[in-house]
Amino acid sequence: MNAAQTARSVAATAEAAATASREWARADRTVRAAALDAVAARLDAAADELVPTAMRETHLPEPRLRGELGRTTFQLRLFAEVLRDGSYLDARIDTADPEWPMGPRPDIRRTLVPLGPVAVFAASNFPFAFSVIGGDSASALAAGNAVVVKTHPGHPDLSAATAAVVVAALAGDGAPQDLFQLVSGIDEGRELLLAPQIRAGAFTGSIAGGRALFDLAQQRPDPIPFFGELGSVNPVFVTREAARRRAEEITAGFVGSFTLGAGQFCTKPGVLVHPRDSDLRELLAAHDLPAPAPLLNDRIQQGYVAGLGTLAGNDGVEPLRFDDGALADPPAPSLVATDLKYVLDNPAVLDEVFGPASLLVAYDDEDELLALAELLPGQLTATVVGEEDDRIAPALLERLADRAGRVLWNQWPTGVTVSHAQQHGGPYPATTAPGTTSVGTAAITRFLRPVAFQNLPQSLLPAELRDGGPAPALVNGTPSGGSR
């Protein structure tokens, strides 16, 4: 397509999404919940068609992909539960109060309404859970919005096959036509994000790609929210006492985590900060590493080789597990090493390298950990491997909570459960919207907007704002009603 054709085609897609979004916003929450359940059921039933396609296009192994599809359908069903419960609406009812201290208060009632059509930019590394019908699409649909997915070029056939399943399930359940659409291509994605009908963007991917789209969304005549999950090195801090007591356990856990899925997780621990006077470095120098595994696609492979080459090329960074195989295709897992003082002077060594590599950082004095924690750019996760009575623990955890969306203790950051309390986010560059999460039930809030209704008759109020309505509500400041 030439530029004009692309623009016309995307404009028609966006217009159809706006019409569908209006109708979907009107649908009862239980109707939307049933549709999400129907999509989950059809996806589960299509596993034997979808998984082989995913294997072919992503080089990921079958058990991982079947597990990921299960996570994806679980996520859809969990959002269906969220819809049926209704707490997510954060309904608030303040009845008229002539004695309100600042002056008579009118009857005012607040709920959340859908933002409108959402543009979802799919990721490559989770071809189910963060792609066509992953967390962004599921939460945007649950919130009551039409979705247009810009597919990832890494798995085009899987994207089309997945969308076909989703569209068939939605149609079978009576959802509006064009509620769920795809576009492909970089120009198409940009046009989509600029379409006046699109009211929010969501993205999982690289810092460069995410920043470019974020900038585009903010430079619109009417800027829109853009929820980008970009990059993170997920540092792990090992205290002196933990290294002394549990060096072998830590070694095994760390190797398992940084090489999981060939290191292609946004939560891969890319930095391990350890006491110089421990056995960790020696143990890691000798520990078995997994065999080389092909990366997702050529672009990821090239990016990995370039990034790891830059990191290893620093004069203060030395090889630990880094031979000819490290930069081969497929690459052997590798480890390079430096010390904390070098990192403080050369923070660029903290740049994310997406793939099976990690950087060991040796420290001499535990207090140096606090200096490094303060220097960190925003992170999805930060981990402390420590003992409960470690003197440094409270201060270190406090500083890491100021820099990361999830702070772990004696566990590894890879593996992000989908639950009520999950938080997958963090200050920039971890995300472009630090107040939000892209995983867990709270992710739905991204695609909603509060509206207060003042002095409306009961008959004209949204159902959840009527007296004794069907959802939990905060009534004059006190929780009441619904399932709460």
Q: Is 140 in the site for a second copy (CB under 8 A)?
A: no
Q: Which of 450, 463, 467, 468 binds a second copy (CB under 8 A)?
A: 450
Cα separation, 27 vs 30, in Å, equals 8
Does position 371 interact with a second copy (CB under 8 A)? The reply is: no
- Of these, 189, 225, 333, 481, which contacts a second copy (CB under 8 A)? 225
197/259 with CB nearer a second copy: 197
Enumerate residues 6+ apart whose C-beta is below 8 A from 208: none
Contact 370, 395 (CB under 8 A): yes
* Residue 452 binding a second copy, by CB under 8 A: yes
Residue 394, interface with a second copy (CB under 8 A)? Answer: yes
Which pairs count as long-range contacts for 91-100, CB under 8 Å and 24+ apart, including other chains? 91/464, 91/465, 91/469, 91/471, 91/472, 91/473, 91/474, 92/473, 92/474, 92/475, 93/465, 93/467, 93/473, 93/474, 93/475, 93/476, 94/476, 94/477, 95/475, 95/476, 97/476
Residues from 175 through 214 that contact a second copy (CB under 8 A) = 199, 214
Minimum CB separation of residue 155 from a second copy in Å reads: 21
Question: Per CB under 8 A, which region of 56-64, 136-144, 262-270, 424-432 contacts a second copy?
Answer: 424-432
* Catalytic residue positions, numbered: 229, 266
- Rounded least distance, CB 405 to a second copy, Å: 6
Of positions 445, 466, 471, 481, contacts a second copy by CB under 8 A? 445
Nearer to a second copy, 39 or 362 (CB): 39
Q: Which of 26, 56, 245, 299 binds a second copy (CB under 8 A)?
A: 26
Query: What values do phi and psi take at 97, rounded to 5?
Result: -145, 100
d(CA 471, CA 484): 8
Among 119, 141, 224, 255, binds a second copy (CB under 8 A): 224
CB-wise, 26 or 299, nearer to a second copy? 26
From the list 80, 115, 133, 360, which residue makes contact with a second copy (rule: CB under 8 A)?
115
User: Radius of gyration over alpha carbons of the chain, in Å?
Assistant: 24
Phi-psi region of 109 (alpha: psi -120 to 50; beta: other; left: phi over 0): beta
CB of 109 to a second copy, least distance (A): 6
Q: How many residues bind a second copy (CB under 8 A)?
A: 91
**SS3 at position 321:** strand
HSE of 224, CA atoms in CB hemisphere, 13 A: 26
Write down the least CB distance from residue 81 to a second copy, Å: 8
> Applying CB under 8 A, does 449 fall inside the site for a second copy?
yes
Q: Output 6 or 410, the one with its CB closest to a second copy.
A: 410
Q: Does 302 bind a second copy (CB under 8 A)?
A: no
**In this structure, are residues 65 and 54 in contact, taking their beta carbons and an 8 Å threshold?**
yes
Site for a second copy in 63-102 (CB under 8 A): 67, 70-71, 74-75, 85, 87, 90, 92-94, 100-102
DSSP state of 405: E
Interaction residues for a second copy, span 304-323 (CB under 8 A): none
Q: Is 11 exposed, middle or buried, given 0-12, 13-18 or 19+ CB atoms closer than 10 A?
A: middle
Task: Classify strands 200-204 and 118-121 as parallel, antiparallel or unpaired.
Answer: parallel
